[in-house]
Amino acid sequence: MIRVRLAFPAVVLLFSLSIPSAGQSFAETPSAPVVPRAQQAQPQSPAESSVIVVKPGLTDEQLADLYMARKEYREAAMSYKRLADGNPQNPVYLNKLGIALHQQAALSAALKYYERASKVDPTYADAQNNIGTIWYQRKKFGKAIKAYQKAINIRSDMAVLYSNLAYAYFGDKKYQEAISSFRQALALDPQLFEHNSSRNGSILQDRSVGDRGRFYFLLAKSFAETGNLERCLIYLRKAKDEGYKELSAVKSDPSFAAVLKDPAVQEVIAPRPPSSTQP
């Protein structure tokens, strides 16, 4: 986030990148696993509440995934590290270890494991995407764009990849490319901004942006081009609330032609009336 939450949706299980303080670190040395406490059906006394209960039937990977779902990232990282050490040619374990480290703001270590996963399996788009999120968070937008494009060359059917690419283009101030990528993302998944779809916690989505007013305006433009008046209005209003000063461009931009005459759109783009003051 990576929560990669802006003030706008952000690293999203697809893991939402909720990143702790930079002072946290990951211990590479293995230690005994910490087992999550199962929810108790009946109230427990203080003495009983400290008892740790192991849920039967979980594999090591399922246990690690459970830690991740509970945002117990240190325990998840240690569990994935054991799995990766025992299966060094398994790109999924390497990638998930990278995510667990990423969530602890250990970006250099996370990048190392994403790159290892990608090297083990060059067709693993999830790891290549996650490499992009590292560069995006470091504001190395050119490198992020290249990583996302590599992921798309592997898997062109994943909306999240085009969405991430669009954010990177936006960060690089390549606004037309950003709109084009958002349009492709929405064509694959019209509800992209309504949910956070995860591929079993193996891919990250970073939705943090700087110039939110312009960003919301570009989203409104993308939805206008697809004829989605409702979503267009939502993001036009957000752009206006952020103080975006170029809302009048809606009147001359052909992308808004299909929605321009709608009274709600006219209301949004109308200049704010001057505030009256009492003598």
Query: Which of 119-128, 228-237, 267-276 is the least confident region?
Result: 267-276
φ, ψ at 61 (rounded to 5°): -70, -40
Joined together, the tokens standing for residue 87 give 């299966």
Q: Each residue of 158-195: pLDDT tens digit?
A: 999 999 999 999 999 999 899 899 989 988 998 887 76
| Residue among 141, 216, 221 at smallest CA distance from 173 | 141
In this predicted structure, what is the pLDDT of residue 174? 94
| 128 confidence band (pLDDT: 50, 70, 90) | very high
In this predicted structure, what is the pLDDT of residue 57? 81
φ, ψ at 30 (rounded to 5°): -70, 150
Query: What is the full DSSP assignment across 188-209?
Result: H-TTGGG----STT--------
| 4 confidence band (pLDDT: 50, 70, 90) | very low
In this predicted structure, what is the pLDDT of residue 194? 72
In this predicted structure, what is the pLDDT of residue 98? 97
Q: Each residue of 47-74: pLDDT tens digit?
A: 444 454 555 688 999 999 999 999 999 9
Query: DSSP label at 272?
Result: P
The residue among 14 and 220 whose pLDDT is bigger is 220
In this predicted structure, what is the pLDDT of residue 63? 94
Query: Is residue 6 over pLDDT 50?
Result: no
Query: What is the full DSSP assignment across 147-173?
Result: HHHHHHHH-TT-HHHHHHHHHHHHHTT
In this predicted structure, what is the pLDDT of residue 14? 52
Query: DSSP label at 256?
Result: G
| 20 confidence band (pLDDT: 50, 70, 90) | very low
In this predicted structure, what is the pLDDT of residue 270? 87
pLDDT > 70: what percent of the chain? 75
| Residue among 123, 202, 132, 121 at smallest CA distance from 167 | 132
Q: Each residue of 130-161: pLDDT tens digit?
A: 999 999 999 999 999 999 999 999 999 999 99
In this predicted structure, what is the pLDDT of residue 1? 40
Query: Is residue 111 over pLDDT 80?
Result: yes
Q: Provide the b/e sequence for 206-239 (b: ≥16 CB within 10 Å).
A: bbbbeebbbbbbbbbbbbbbbebeebbbbbbebb
* C-alpha separations of 217 from 2, 208, 232 in Å: 24, 15, 9
Question: Distance between CA atoms of 176 and 188, rounded to whole angstroms?
Answer: 19
Query: DSSP label at 8?
Result: S
Q: Which of 122-126, 209-213, 259-263, 268-272 has the highest mean pLDDT?
A: 122-126
Question: Distance between CA atoms of 49 and 143, rounded to whole angstroms?
Answer: 49
107-115: average pLDDT: 97
- How is the chain split into domains, by residue range? 1-29+58-156+197-210, 211-271
Question: Distance between CA atoms of 173 and 176, rounded to whole angstroms?
Answer: 9
Torsion of CA 232, 188, 126, 62, to 10 degrees: 90
CATH architecture designation of domain 1-29+58-156+197-210: Alpha Horseshoe (1.25)
88-100: average pLDDT: 97
pLDDT > 90: what percent of the chain? 51
